Structure 1
Amino acid sequence: MPFLNCKILSTILMLTLILGVLYCYIFQSYRVVVSFEKTEETPVGSSSGKSLVRGHDFNLVAPNHLQYKQPSIIHGRTDVVTVTPWLAPVVWEGTFNPVLLDSIYKQKNISIAVTVFAVGKYIMFLKNFLETAEQHFFVGFKVHVYVFTDRPKEVPEVKMAAGRKLIVSSVPSSNRWQEISARRMELIQILIEEKLQNYTDYIFCLDVDSKFHGRWGTESLGRLVAVIHPGYYRDDRSKFPYERRPASRAYVAPGEGDFYYCGGAFGGLLQEVHMLAKTCRSNFEADAREGIEAAWQEESHLNSYMWVNKPSKVLSPEYLWQDFKARNPEVHIIRFSGVVKNYAEIRPNV
């Protein structure tokens, strides 16, 4: 009888071990993104411990019987690279099917938040930004635009489609544009913690002194999304304007760095952008306590973060071109661009 009990016990232990291995394998095979679910007792900006599985970035289910052009793995763009060394897609015109992607994400009923900062004289760019966004940015989807400004009375009235909304938040003015730039990560972090956790799937953080020219839609969705800077994408990494002082937490050493990413356009799943903003804010504030300000404020910290935390999708320079630049041959369409401006007129300390 003791022998039989030992045998049963051994069998139970073996089954438990097998189930444990299977659980770990399944759990580690998928990066599950969670969003915090607050209760009435939960303090603002903290987690209650509950979580919701966010499957938007993983299960891409197309409507049955949807017809579209047959894809090919031997024909397509040959003038540009369309995948990074860590196998993240690089999105260019001609690399995606907008009808297919929209059909997939329409079923998910996703919601998208946009942050835009219109502080000081930058308020002059807001109307054009909002009007062109209505024409091109996630048309037909639920979009809430969060405008941070020190001039709330000057926010223009723009007619927005059903399911789209403008929310204005007041922020202090500043005598240094660098401080305005640096505070963005802090405000994005707080916005996510206090207002977006239960209501938003994706968030994009965009520069107000820009406008849309063409489609920016579901092809841009991903876990963590970066946009390649149009000024440096043809250059060797040694020419990238990274923070090169080792004392800064934004430091990127010589010989390191994949691409130079824009600080004026980035996004992804809410939880991923929260982690990015929280980390960049923490590093910026730690630098400030030691009297250090990174070369390009939050853009420097963003590039340092993404050198280690690789973006899951990279958007080509189509997604933030510069209006003063002639379009290069590989850029078939400009979707979003920074407008020509006189910095001496709009920046307080230039």
Structure 2
Amino acid sequence: MDRTRIRVFFKCSAPLIFWLCLLSTFFLGFFWQTSEGHWLNRGISILCETQRLSRNKTDLLDNSPEIELPRMVYTKAHIFKPLRTDVLTVTPWFAPIVWEGSYNLDILNEQFRQKNMTVGLTIFAIKKYVVFLQRFLETAETYFMVGHRVKYYVFTDRPEAVPNVTVKDGREIVPLKVQNYSRWQEISMRRMEIISYFSKQRFINEVGFLVCVDVDMRFNDHVGVEILSELFDTIHPGFYASERKAFTYERRNNSKAFIPQDEGDFYYAGGFFGGTVDKVYQLTKKCHEAIMADKNRSMEAIWQEESHLNKYFVYHKPTKILSPEYLWDNNFGSPQFLKKKRFLAVPKNHAVIRNRRNSHLKC
């Protein structure tokens, strides 16, 4: 009886179900045309536009001007004939250590020219240190980045004292006025703050690499693009053969520059470091923050910013290291492994330069 009723119900309802389905199909089709169809068409348009832009980029790459490279003739490297065997030429983290005879300058120069970059060189000539500028700039013009564009950024409290040294085409001396401080240690530490600030505000828009060096030096031999890398520093000439325990790291554990006895690779000099502008910014910003944190606790690291620099390199390994050729003092003599003395300390009376008032300096 129940089955019969069900059959009768579906037989009578079939026409109604048919018309309901037909009307539903009609309304769905109308909605699709007026709503979903719009988004479908828009999606198709976006896809077409994406394909068009992709084709344009491909065409741009295909039609980019071809760089004419000169033919280069040089001696082939041999796998079983290392260029230097008397010194370490690569670190455990595969960063090259730059020594005379460990690279081909012609190849490096050609690679750098293709980048079409300018190198920035920062120096600080505060108070009496302006006396070193003349020789520094003259020797830099002879030996530093020869054949490439350079901006000499001279930080000084006495812009009028910057000498009028003639520079080659594509090179420029840029005086930048900064504040001086009563203590030379304070001046030294403030370098990190100043380089950090100008890296973000100016250098990032003007140069590709920054080289940060001391001004009381003179260039004595070629210093070129072989030094450039993302982040580099120089092995201190006083510690190139020393064990960790002899390094003058900051050993007080309440300083931000603290390095434990079982950490550290080399002792790096604060007088010659650099890299790409963004990497130098990160380094100097971090060091400045650590210096100020110590200052707020009435602390000063044993070797000021150099101590913080060494701490930074413990955990942020440099991508290239310069041998002591690039920062030497003749008081250390002339060891056999040192084939070049590229950047030399100028003999001076530290007491006169740093502390005493004397208008007739002899350095």
Answer whether TM exceeds 0.5 for this pair.
yes
| Contact 1:62–1:104 (8 Å) recurs in 2 | no
Q: Which residue of 2 aligns with 1:298?
A: 305
Q: 1:288 aligns with which of 285, 288, 295?
A: 295
Q: Which residue of 1 aligns with 2:164?
A: 157
In 2, the alpha carbon distance for the partners of 1:80 and 1:135 equals 28
Q: Give the structure with the higher percent helix.
A: 2
Residues 105-132 of structure 1: CA deviation (Å, up to 9, x unaligned): 1121111111100111111111111000
Identity score, percent:
46
Displacement after TM superposition at 1:64 (Å): 5.9
Q: Which residue of 2 aligns with 1:73?
A: 79
Displacement after TM superposition at 1:73 (Å): 2.7
- Structure 1's consecutive aligned runs of 4 or more residues displaced over 4 angstroms after TM superposition are none
In 2, the alpha carbon distance for the partners of 1:327 and 1:237 equals 23
Pair 1:94 & 2:101 matched: yes
Amino acid at match of 1:69: T
> TM-score, normalised to structure 1's length?
0.81
In 1, the alpha carbon distance for the partners of 2:354 and 2:193 equals 21
In 1, the alpha carbon distance for the partners of 2:203 and 2:151 equals 10
Unaligned runs of 5+ in 1: 1-60
In 2, the alpha carbon distance for the partners of 1:228 and 1:263 equals 10
Q: Which residue of 2 aligns with 1:198?
A: 205
Unaligned runs of 5+ in 2: 1-66, 358-363
| Contact 1:209–1:338 (8 Å) recurs in 2 | yes
Q: Which residue of 2 aligns with 1:185?
A: 192
In 1, the alpha carbon distance for the partners of 2:129 and 2:224 equals 25
Bigger Cα Rg = 2
Displacement after TM superposition at 1:349 (Å): 7.2
Residues matched between the structures, number: 290
Q: Equivalent residue of 1:167, what SS?
A: strand
In 2, the alpha carbon distance for the partners of 1:63 and 1:80 equals 34
Q: Equivalent residue of 2:108, what SS?
A: helix
In 1, the alpha carbon distance for the partners of 2:206 and 2:340 equals 32
| Contact 1:112–1:200 (8 Å) recurs in 2 | yes
In 2, the alpha carbon distance for the partners of 1:152 and 1:317 equals 32
| Contact 1:324–1:340 (8 Å) recurs in 2 | no
> TM-score, normalised to structure 2's length?
0.78
Displacement after TM superposition at 1:325 (Å): 2.1
Displacement after TM superposition at 1:167 (Å): 0.6
Displacement after TM superposition at 1:323 (Å): 2.7
Summarize the alignment of residues 1-350 of structure 1 with structure 2, pairs less than 5 Å apart.
Answer: 63=69, 65-75=71-81, 76-348=83-355
- Alpha-carbon RMSD across the aligned residues, in angstroms, is 1.5
